[in-house]
Amino acid sequence: MKLLLVELKQQLKKYSLWQQHAPDAAALSSQQPFAVDTLEPQEWLQWIFIARMESLIEAGGDTPKGFEITPYFEEVWKLRPELAEVLTVLKQIDEAAK
């Protein structure tokens, strides 16, 4: 999973979706799935998903199993065919989480 997260970061940077500054604490504390009310999809990936997964890995914990995030990103980026490479990495992450 760690290598997939590195690849995901690289893809987000490649497509200029990586941010240098975190959103404010209120935006990050959304209770909605994917923080749809406060964050852009790529912000959720960077500041919530990747950050939490890396924390789990660094702490020696197990990463969650049985989740699937790709369908959400396929929907929100359906008009962004240039992001196909990002979606490919997300699919690989979903597969690793089975």
pLDDT-derived band at 2 (thresholds 50, 70, 90) equals very high
Residue boundaries of the structural domains of the chain: 2-18+33-96
Q: What is the pLDDT of residues 47-57, one digit of tens each?
A: 999 999 999 99
Question: Radius of gyration (Cα) for the chain, nearest Å?
Answer: 13
Tokens of 75: 């929907």
Pairwise CA distance, residues 93 & 37, whole Å: 24
Q: What is the model's pLDDT at position 61?
A: 85
Mean pLDDT of 26-54: 96
User: In sequence order, what DSSP letters do the residues of 35-48 get, joined into one string?
Assistant: GTTT--HHHIIIII
Q: What is the model's pLDDT at position 62?
A: 87
Q: What is the pLDDT of residues 44-97, one digit of tens each?
A: 999 999 999 999 999 998 889 999 999 999 999 999 999 999 999 999 999 999
CA separation (Å) from 1 to 4, 40, 90? 5, 23, 11
Pairwise CA distance, residues 39 & 96, whole Å: 25
